[in-house]
A and B are shown apart, each in its own frame.
Chain A
Amino acid sequence: EAQVTQNPRYLITVTGKKLTVTCSQNMNHEYMSWYRQDPGLGLRQIYYSMNVEVTDKGDVPEGYKVSRKEKRNFPLILESPSPNQTSLYFCASSLLERGRPYNEQFFGPGTRLTVL
C-alpha cells in the first residue's frame, strides 16, 4: 500500500530534550516536506526537500532541522524543543514533474507533540 508513515504518532517530552520524528514514504517520491498544524493557522511548511541531500527552509524553520540521506526518509529533528513547538506535525511527499514538485501531496497520519 502506497503511504507516508510517521513515528511516533504521539509524543510528550520536556523542554530541551532532543527528539526526532521519523517520516518514510514508499512511493519513490523525490519531494518531501514537513508541516505543522496549529488551531486557526492551518498548516505551515517547516522544511522541504527536492531530493537526497537537497533541503531548504519553509515558512517556519526556526528550531527545527532536517536531513535527507535516503530518498524514502525525511526525519524532523528538534535539537532543543520548547513549549511553542507543541503542535501537530505532518510529513508529506510528492513526485517531481519536469523538475518541479507535482503539487498533489500525500500526507502522513500526523505526530502530535507536546513539549512541557
Chain B
Amino acid sequence: AQSVTQLDSHVSVSEGTPVLLRCNYSSSYSPSLFWYVQHPNKGLQLLLKYTSAATLVKGINGFEAEFKKSETSFHLTKPSAHMSDAAEYFCARGTSYGKLTFGQGTILTVHP
C-alpha cells in the first residue's frame, strides 16, 4: 500500500531560524506529493505540490520542498521561520482515483 511517513511529530524552532519538516513516501513510479498546513481551528490549506515537473517546488509563504527520488523524500523547508508559521503540517500523496494519503502530521512550534 502507498504510504507517507512524517519523521517528526513535533519540531520546535526559534523565530528567524530555518525550518525542516521531513516526509518520506513509499516508492511509486510517479507520485503526486503535497504539503498542507493546518492552523488551529482551521481547514487545510495547500502549501505546495509536486507533480513530476521541477524537483524543487516553491510554495506559498516562503516554503519550498525538494523531491528526491533516490531517497523517496519530499522534505519541506523555509529559510527563516515566522511566528505565524506555527501550525500543523501534513505531507500527502495522491492516487489515480483522487484519494490523498496523509502522513501523521508534524506540529511546528516557533519560539520568539
Contact = CB atoms under 8 A, between A and B. Distances in A.
A27 B44 CA distance: 17
Interface residues of B, number: 27
Interface in A7-50: 31, 33, 35, 40-45, 48, 50
A104 B34 contact: yes
Contact of B98 (A42, A50, A90, A108): A50
Interface string B20-45: 00000000000010101000011111
A42 B98 CA distance: 17
A42 B97 contact: no
Contacts of A33: 98-99
Contacts of A41: 104
Given A33-B98, A58-B99, A42 B90 contact: yes
B34 A94 contact: no
Contacts of A100: 96-98
Given A4-B43, A40-B9, A92-B44, 4 more contacts: A42-B104, A45-B99, A101-B97, A103-B98
Interface of A: 4, 31, 33, 35, 40-45, 48, 50, 58-59, 90, 92, 94, 100-101, 103-105, 107-110
Interface of B: 4, 6, 9, 32, 34, 36, 41-46, 49, 51, 90, 92, 94-100, 102-105
